[in-house]
Amino acid sequence: MELLRKWLGHPEDIYHLLRFKMGGYRAVMPRMDPDSLGRGLRTCYRYLNQTSRSFAAVIQALDGELRHAVCIFYLVLRALDTIEDDMTISLDVKVPMLHEFHSYLYQPEWKYMESKEKDRQVLEDFPTISMEFRNLSKVYQDVISDICRKMGVGMAEFLEKKVDSQHEWDRYCHYVAGLVGIGLSRLFSASDLEDPIVGQDTELANSMGLFLQKTNIIRDYLEDQQDGREFWPKEVWSRYAKKLSDLTKPENIDLAVQCLNELVTNALHHVPDVLKYLSRLKNQSVFNFCAIPQVMAIATLAACYNNKQVFRGVVKIRKGQAVTLMMDATNIQAVKSIMYQYVEEIYQKIPSTDPSSNKTQQVIASIRTMSFPGGPMVSRHHYSPIYLSCAMLLAALSWQYLSTISKATEEYVQAGEN
């Protein structure tokens, strides 16, 4: 019944969940025919579904040969990331592997059988992945190999190095996410589905990745602490606590929230670049692929801002809210409206005593101007009393059905991309 109470408070979620479940998801994630693929590609898409159903859904919605290039790109980087994450691999073995990993793409027999990580199948059957990589057009191979090389170098750099300054935070996020944005953008342009400028403007592509990665780092503070990982920049948190772990202490909660708000403000500075990047996209499948994670991120930041729960448990957006974002974020004006809505939500929560309040207000003002230079934007949704009554009745009748939404949909809308 807790689920029912949540939906009664957000009746629009019911409409969008039903709309999504009854076929609306095909507009943003059309089905791919696996029978049209060769054996190697079918295996690669199976690994894609096993390692990330959420990414699998949006990747398989891409048009033409770009779909296969992005699938292989994802699996190659997943294999690289699996090596980085595997704490059973000693540094004297791991560092050379990270530096040389891009060369394994051209070694048909290379594989690694010693990993204990959950996604180790991408290492154990790397010959299948590397074979499909070599089957790609050379223009795609060059992009994937180059990004893999640069990412391996960056991962090795931060293996024994903590993130101290905000510059290093940006550098770390560049290696693990910005390079992904740059690589994807180059693939988009190489496919001719997007103009050359999309792949050439690495600053905007980098910002796309940084915005997502910073959002994940902010949201995942407690989980990372519990796993012994630290990604918040010391330059920021040291102004609020002696140790990063001290932010979880009840007596430090006010300072912890101020630290959180400063980092959210930092992440918001990427939103103008995100909007400029998305405004250049022409292909619908590419736009959906890029826009959906970005609107999930702004909604997540709005949920995290000034929220003590970040230091106590899990903060995530509602499933119905996420489905609404997926269904709505199909054009640049809709995305601008969504961004506007959530920065306004943040603006309304800015404490007058917060040390970062002026900076937060300034960056929100710039996002407002870029989103709607002609003036404020009204809410995207208006529901009449009759609609609300019907929605509540529908909730009472269908809450059990909605609670059984498929695993693939649930994993995607949680928007917690690794």
Instruction: Look up 39 and say whether it is catalytic.
Output: no
SS in 3 state form for the chain?
Answer: CHHHHHHHHCHHHHHHHHHHHCCHHHHCCCCCCHHHCCHHHHHHHHHHHHHCHHHHHHHCCCCHHHHHHHHHHHHHHHHHHHHHHCCCCCHHHHHHHHHHHHHHCCCCCCCCCCCCCCCCHHHHCHHHHHHHHHHCCHHHHHHHHHHHHHHHHHHHHCCCCCCCCHHHHHHHHHHHHHHHHHHHHHHHHHCCCCCHHHHHCHHHHHHHHHHHHHHHHHHCHHHHHHCCCCCCCHHHHCCCCCCHHHHHCHHHHHHHHHHHHHHHHHHHCCHHHHHHHHHCCCCHHHHHHHHHHHHHHHHHHHHHCCCHHHHCCCCCCCHHHHHHHHHHCCCHHHHHHHHHHHHHHHHHHCCCCCCCHHHHHHHHHHHHHHHCCCCCCCCCCCCCHHHHHHHHHHHHHHHHHHCCCCHHHHHHHCCCCC
Find the catalytic residue in 104, 289, 342, 412. Answer: 289
Find the catalytic residue in 45, 172, 188, 342. Answer: 172
Instruction: Look up 172 and say whether it is catalytic.
Output: yes
Residues 6+ apart with CB under 8 A from 356: 258, 261, 262, 265
Instruction: Look up 133 and say whether it is catalytic.
Output: no
Exposed/middle/buried for residue 121 (C-beta within 10 Å: 0-12, 13-18, 19+):
buried
What amino acid occupies position 75?
Answer: L
Instruction: Look up 53 and say whether it is catalytic.
Output: no
Find the catalytic residue in 26, 229, 239, 380. Answer: 229
Find the catalytic residue in 67, 186, 219, 368. Answer: 219
The set of catalytic residues is: 172, 219, 229, 289
